[in-house]
A and B are shown apart, each in its own frame.
Chain A
Amino acid sequence: MSRLELGAWALGVLVLVVLPQALSLFQLVQYTVFMIYALLALSLDFIWGIAGILSFGQAALFGIGGYVYGIVAINFGLTPLALLAGALAPAAAAGIIGYVAFYGRVGSMYFAVVTLTVTLILYQVMGSTADPRYAVGAAELGGYNGMTNIPSLSLAGPAGQPVGPAEGFYLAGGLLLLVLASCVALARSSYGRVLQGIRENERRMELLGYDVRWRKLLAFAISAAIAGLAGGLFASWGNFINPEVFSLPQAAIVVIWVLVGGRGSLWGAVLGTVLVQYLASLLGQAGATYTTVLLGVMLIAIVLLFRRGLAPALTEALAHAVRRRPGMAARG
């Protein structure tokens, strides 16, 4: 680990600790959800940026995590257990999809379309559960209105006090840093290097004797668990979840976060998320329809003009202007 990197981590922790003191309650709650979204973006950057597998289904896995958290929390009240279940259920779902796709040696394009298809089907299925008879135990699924009255996470057991805004912020931020650090470590492990090899040339890795299918499956399951963790936190944060998490704009914005941050860097996904969501919250007053148009145009513009992502392009431009040492520019 270089000194620069160590400094970056220290800065991250510092920002996390100091920020709540400087924010209003509204901002605190808002930034908490930014960090939950950043966790979701991280899940995509891990599978797409490191392993080179584009999944459009991260938002759907996030949604499964949220729903499972809600079902377990409402029925049993054990919220930490619910959070764990919310991470494991999407991992299992990813296992099934990944088994079909990777062991069937479905091409990368088809994988993206399959994940998108699953997302859309989930949207319609969850939307059709408005009737009260669609319930898991005491948890009514609620159709397009979604599942309401989901208990907030409480670390002291069922009877304990649920986490407040500040604790929620520290929890989301802490988990984000922890997962980010784990992803970075994983990317540098021998497993992570094989994943990067698969990204660069899958056939060659196979010929070198690595079982590509199993490693891709594992990577997808890990990323699904991260997305599900974010989904569980989201359901706890807002005390509700609805099928909008399975909608196309939601699936698209995850890709945009990662594209803006520049894929493959992991930390870029976090920055991209915060940047895009902050701008979106400024634009929010203009109405959701304008936001959708803007999202679409952004996606087209990034693809046509900034192939490697907005943040890397900016960093490069900056580095060029300042004529920094190339080694530093590469590390950012």
Chain B
Amino acid sequence: MDQVLVTAVGVLFAISTLVLLALGLAVIFGMMGVVNLAQGEFLMLGAYTVLVSTSHGLPVWAGMALAPFVVGAIGVLFERSIIRFLYGRPLDTMLATWGLSLALVGAVTLVMGPATEGIATPLGSIEIGRYSLSVYRLVVIAITGGTVLAAYLVLGHTRAGLVARATMQAPGLVAASGVDPRHVFMATFGVGAALAGLAGAVMAPLTGVVPSMGLAFIAKIFITVMVGGSTVLLGTAASSGVLGLAESAVSYVSTPIYGQVAMLTLALVLLRLLPDGISGLWRERR
């Protein structure tokens, strides 16, 4: 019984982290169609926000609360300076954000050094029978749940969410109704970056903080969002469920590396079986 509970929490945690990490990309790639290869670096910047704030004496939670705003602002900055010139040119966007990714990794390495820095995991652990369970993992699951709920409510039930969705469908119509679509693109990109900042900050105590940490996530989150397909939030949650389950199951019986391989293989198979839910989406939108 104890083991079942601990395993269930483990699987739920694996799925939650995948959802949390992929959520920002779901907005930027899934909704806006911007192939942002620098998304991993947005996660990394979120993690560094926590590192810098704790080293200045702030509590970990304050750093985590700060990260979305810092990274959101950085995201808006890059949207203004690079991304906005490239809407409708997906391949060029890809190349430019790739350049951005390399430049950010290099720049952060120059400023902060190449070493992996640790942040102590807050909250300790609780005992369940013979097993111990990190409370922080439960908090990550809760934060993910809260963020997904908030995203759902904002997108589906507020005017801002309505305007954002309308802009992705028909920017001309939105412009005719008196809202500048360029501002909406900017804000949406900022929100996607902010979500990445939050995810990076939340993951920081678990993974350690290093300039190249985005690499570990970028492949995962892209295949998650790609497999997710049409409905951005629900799709990302569903594919996180399937892929996260496969990854943690295979990792459990072998090594985390084979878990990743299993996840990729499953994603390729899913892409082959469900091409319409994925590439058809793109053609519809552009």
Q: A: which residues have CB within 8 A of B?
A: 54, 97, 100-101, 103-110, 112-114, 116-118, 120-121, 123-125, 128, 248-249, 252, 255, 259, 289-304, 307
Contacts and interface: CB of A to CB of B under 8 A. Distances in A.
Closest 3 CB pairs of A and B: A299-B99, A296-B103, A296-B102
A289 B99 contact: no
Contacts of B85: 304
Nearest to A291: B106
B272 interface: yes
B99 A298 contact: yes
A113 B34 CA distance: 12
Contacts of B91: 54, 108-109, 112
Given A114-B268, A293-B102, A296-B99, A128 B107 contact: no
Contacts of A120: 215, 218-219
Interface residues on B, range: 35 or more
Interface stretch (B141-149, B174-182, B255-263): B255-263
Contact of A248 (B35, B90, B101, B267): B101
Interface in B219-268: 219, 222-223, 226, 255, 257, 260-261, 264, 267-268
A259 B219 CA distance: 24
Nearest to B257: A128
Nearest to A119: B219
A118 B269 CA distance: 13
A113 B102 contact: no
Interface of B: 35, 37, 82, 85-86, 90-92, 94-96, 98-107, 109-110, 114, 215-216, 218-219, 222-223, 226, 255, 257, 260-261, 264, 267-269, 271-273, 275, 278-279, 282-283
Nearest to B264: A121
A293 B272 contact: no
A255 to B, nearest CB: 6
B232 to A, nearest CB: 16
A289 B282 CA distance: 36
B96 A117 contact: no
A255 B95 CA distance: 8
Contact of B279 (A110, A121, A123, A299): A110
A290 B106 contact: yes
A297 B99 contact: yes
Contacts of B86: 303-304
Given A120-B218, A255-B95, A289-B109, A104 B272 contact: yes
Nearest to A97: B268
B100 A296 contact: yes
Given A109-B35, A121-B219, A293-B107, A248 B102 contact: yes
Interface centre among B99, B100, B257, B271, by most chain A C-beta atoms within 10 angstroms, is B99
Given A100-B268, A108-B91, A292 B105 contact: yes
Nearest to A253: B102
Given A104-B272, A289-B110, A295-B102, A121 B261 contact: yes
Interface SS majority for chain B: helix
A303 B283 contact: no
A109 B94 contact: yes
A297 B261 CA distance: 32
A44 to B, nearest CB: 12
Nearest to A106: B279
Contacts of A307: 92
A297 B271 contact: no
B272 A117 contact: no
Interface centre among B107, B219, B271, by most chain A C-beta atoms within 10 angstroms, is B219
Nearest to A54: B91
Contacts of A117: 219, 222-223, 264, 267
Given A106-B271, A109-B35, A299-B99, 6 more contacts: A112-B94, A116-B37, A116-B219, A120-B215, A296-B100, A297-B103
A110 B106 contact: no
26 contacts: A106-B275, A109-B94, A110-B226, A110-B279, A112-B91, A112-B94, A113-B222, A113-B226, A117-B219, A117-B223, A121-B219, A121-B261, A125-B260, A248-B102, A255-B95, A259-B95, A295-B103, A296-B99, A296-B105, A296-B106, A297-B103, A299-B99, A300-B82, A300-B96, A304-B96, A307-B92
Nearest to A248: B215
B94 A295 contact: no
B109 A110 contact: no
A207 to B, nearest CB: 16
B102 to A, nearest CB: 3
